[in-house]
Structure 1
Amino acid sequence: MRILYFVDTLGLGGIQTILQNYFERIDRDKFEIEVLSLDIPDETGFELWLNEKSIPVHKIPGITLKKIRDFSRYPALIKQFFHEHGDFDILHMHASSKNAQLMFNAAKQNIPIRIIHSHNTHYQTSSQIQKVIGDILKFPMKKYATDLWACSTIAGEWLFGDDNFTIIPNAIDAGKFEYDEQLRNSVRESLNISDIDFVIGNIGRFVNQKNHFRMISVFNDLLKYIPNAKLVLAGTGDLEYKIKQQVIELGIERNVNFLGYRTDNHALYQAFDVYCMPSFYEGLPVALVEAQASGLPIVFSNTITEEINISKKQNIQLSLEKDNKEWVEALIEISNRQINRKINGELIQKSIFNIENAIGLLENKYQELIVRESFR
């Protein structure tokens, strides 16, 4: 069975991390996998990993879909790609409606199974024109897709409306994140964090979606009650400079660690005491699954699906409309708890968010779709 996966970028983000988890476990004797992407400069983390795993990678040359003219060049290049690379049994598209042309060409190429997989609940652009184009393109994209999938209910409803869709979980290698006291001590020492410091962590891109400005504002208020609190932020992004300036203006540089891009996220979770995510929107954030797999309690915004709340007794979900005081109180409450992180992490181990449990679901689904098409 030959499957073509499509992603917007070959940078290493949330969707790419999910695909890594599935690609590590999928039966490569049964499923021949290849990856197609737009041609985004300087975003190669996922591409390097795919090359290491001997998974073929293709790019649509010169196309980023960030310029209007790209949309006029896109159809011919997609047609050329399918002409050169032959037939696929499945197109599994992890992208938004701006890539509807790919779904159309896949239908013309007679690829029998064409899956569009939703991972978000908002457009990531601030351009109203691009949002309007995205809304318009939802209709032809759904028309030419044979199957609609989503990582969560709200992600499916955003892209597919009232149409029926299947939920496929954002699964992780849960064992990799299992709590390790020795690793925790080692990482905290490397970050100059003492045993008595209360550490709030967040791993994610510095973009508007993640709402770092609010997080830092809450943290600044928390320091009045827990002066030995530390905020550890891993990631890079367009807003990184402005966020660092906010920290400087508040005079809390000694309490905030900016780690930049990291590849050892599994180790960083060990060093945290709580994970905070006040995002404006998310599909189903992998970071919150990983954090809970490490046994961490999470404090997260009500804009994030309740489906992520696996360790319910340990977690706190708050409205972004609540003032800083309520967020501070939630963090103080967690700082006073005695938490057994081993037991918390076991909930993820047993759940469908563990790749060991989820991979069978995905493989069976692909096989069911192939059988379905054989009777048409």
Structure 2
Amino acid sequence: MKILFVIDSLGGGGAERSTQVLCDYLHEHNVDFKIVCLYFYPDGFHQEMIDKGYDIRFLKEKSFLGQTKEIVGIIKEGDYDIVHSILFKSNLRTRFAKLFTKFQHLESLVNTTYSEERKLDKKVNQNLLSLYKVLDKYSAKLFVDHFHSITNTVKKHYIDHLGLNSKKITVVYRGRKPIKLGTVRKKSSPEFILLNVARQDYQKGQIFLLQAMNELKAQNEKNIKLIILGVEGSVTSTLKDYVKQKELQNMVNFAGFSNNVEKYFSEADVFTFSSLFEGLGGALIEAQSAGLPIIANDLEVLREVAVDNKNAIFVDIKDSSSVAQAILKLKNSSLLRSEFSQNSFENYDEKFREEVSNRGMLKLYKELC
């Protein structure tokens, strides 16, 4: 079996992280693969994967047609059993590569792209998004042989919005390596630490966590710190301006991208997941593997990942008072944190271990070959 992955980049996002995890598994099981990236970004997982000897190629061309034809050339010279595309730009280029050559195309569906919440993002051109949706709908039906969806919610989203055939969509949850086994915290700080792991974009909703921190400051709550871990993005300047304006510098730390996430998970008391729309939330899986209690925005897809009142408190993330109340509920009860912590690890262990996900993906590859 020989697989070609086509992905936008190997930057520090959830889909990129999942690709790394899957490639590690395939390598261990002697499955031949190559990775094609449309773009190179300095922060991410590419160097770690290159150091492992993985065959990674960054496209030279920058235009849509140029990249499509470059992908065609790679497909023709590689004799691949499956071409697996991940993320929207890569999906479109791989679809249109079928105009020039034949191959078995598997495409991952990783987000609720046409969520109503996305219409509120001022940085998204809504007319262009509508055009993309039309292009997405017809090219998906015309060129894609099979779809891999990372959750049932995402599967339903694409059936509802694009009219995809449910029989052509297989759900395989993303898996993750455990951040650490067990649930013993290794704190070196007396502060109550909240951790958020996500790129700094509108979708990730960190501004609402900052508003909750401002609410806690107004209540004279001390020794609470929010760490935002992840690459900078389209709202970084807005977030940092808000922190400065509200004088939250002592309560908020922008830690940037790190390959040593274990350090941050081991010191955190609670994981906060503020996304406004999601496909799954890989960082949320990692947080559960680390045995962290969860505070998350109340999205249907996130209820597939965490369990309400068992290891998670779901909130309206835009209601800063409710978010602050949830934080204080966990801060003020070590017993509740301990219970949620144990339940988080058990939920991860049952549903999201990487071996389960990776076996599911390998099974899907074999069925499609």
Question: Taking structure 2 as the reference length, what is the TM-score of the superposition?
Answer: 0.86
Query: Does 333-342 or 228-237 show the bigger shift?
Result: 333-342
Q: 1:294 maps to what in 2?
A: 290
CA shift, 1:326, in A, is 1.6
Q: Any conservation in 2 of the 1:174–1:348 contact (CA below 8 Å)? A: no
Q: CA separation in 2, counterparts of 1:160 and 1:59?
A: 32
Deviation for aligned residue 1:88: 0.5
Cα distance, 1:229 vs. partner? Answer: 1.2
Q: Is the 8 Å Cα contact of residues 37 and 59 (structure 2) preserved in structure 1? A: yes
Question: Which of residues 231, 236, 247 is equivalent to 2:231?
Answer: 236
| Counterpart-to-counterpart distance in 1, 2:255 and 2:85 | 32
- Distance, in Å, in 2 between the alignment partners of 1:175 and 1:253 is 28
In 2 relative to 1, CA 33–78 (structure 1 residues): closer, same or farther, beyond 3 Å? Answer: closer
Work out the CA distance in 1 between the residues paired with 2:140 and 2:200.
30
Q: Distance in 2 between matches of 1:310 and 1:33?
A: 36
- After superposition, residues 146-225 of structure 1 pair within 5 angstroms as 146-161=145-160, 162=163, 163-164=165-166, 165-174=169-178, 176=180, 178-181=182-185, 184-185=186-187, 188=188, 193-194=189-190, 197-223=191-217, 224=219
Distance across 2 between alignment mates of 1:251 and 1:122: 35
Q: Equivalents in 2 of 1:148, 1:245: separation in Å?
A: 41
1:26 partner SS: helix
Question: Structure 1 residue 5: deviation in Å?
Answer: 1.0
Per-residue deviation at 1:312?
Answer: 4.9
Conserved 8 A contact 1:75-1:102: yes
1:120 aligned onto 2:111: yes
Are residues 349 and 221 of structure 1, via their aligned partners in 2, closer, same or farther at CA, if it must alter by over 3 Å?
A: closer
Question: Closer, same or farther in 2 for the Cα pair 1:295/1:28, shift >3 Å?
Answer: closer
Cα deviation for residue 225 of structure 1 reads 5.3
Using the TM superposition, give the Cα deviation of residue 235 of structure 1 relative to its aligned residue in structure 2, in angstroms: 2.1
Distance 1:218 1:349, change over 3 A: closer
Q: Give the structure 1 partner of residue 321 of structure 2.
A: 325
Other structure's SS at 1:176 match: coil
Relative to the length of structure 1, the TM-score reads 0.85
Indicate how the Cα distance of structure 1 residues 277 and 268 shifts in structure 2: closer, same or farther if over 3 A, else same.
Answer: same
Indicate conservation of the 8 Å contact 1:348/1:354, yes or no: no
Distance 1:149 1:29, change over 3 A: closer
Question: How many equivalent residue pairs?
Answer: 350
Asked whether 1:4 is paired with 2:8, we answer: no
Question: Mapping of 1:329-368 within 5 angstroms?
Answer: 329-337=325-333, 338=335, 339-340=337-338, 343-368=342-367
Identity %: 21
Asked if the contact 1:148/1:160 (under 8 Å) is kept, the reply is no
103, 110, 124: which is aligned to 2:95?
A: 103
User: How many Å apart are 1:82 and its aligned residue?
Assistant: 2.7
Once the two structures are superposed, residues 86-136 of structure 1 have per-residue CA deviations (whole angstroms, 9 ceiling, x without a partner) of 31101111122673241242475332x311111111268612343133212
Q: Is residue 97–residue 135 contact of structure 1 (8 Å, CA) maintained in 2?
A: no
Q: Which runs of 5+ in 1 are unaligned?
A: 64-69, 371-376
Mark the runs of 5 or more structure 2 residues left unpaired by the alignment: none
CA distance in 2, matches of 1:108, 1:312: 52
For 1:136, the equivalent position in structure 2 comes to 134
Once superposed, what is the RMSD of the aligned Cα atoms?
2.4
> 2:316·2:322 contact (CA, 8 Å) conserved in 1?
no
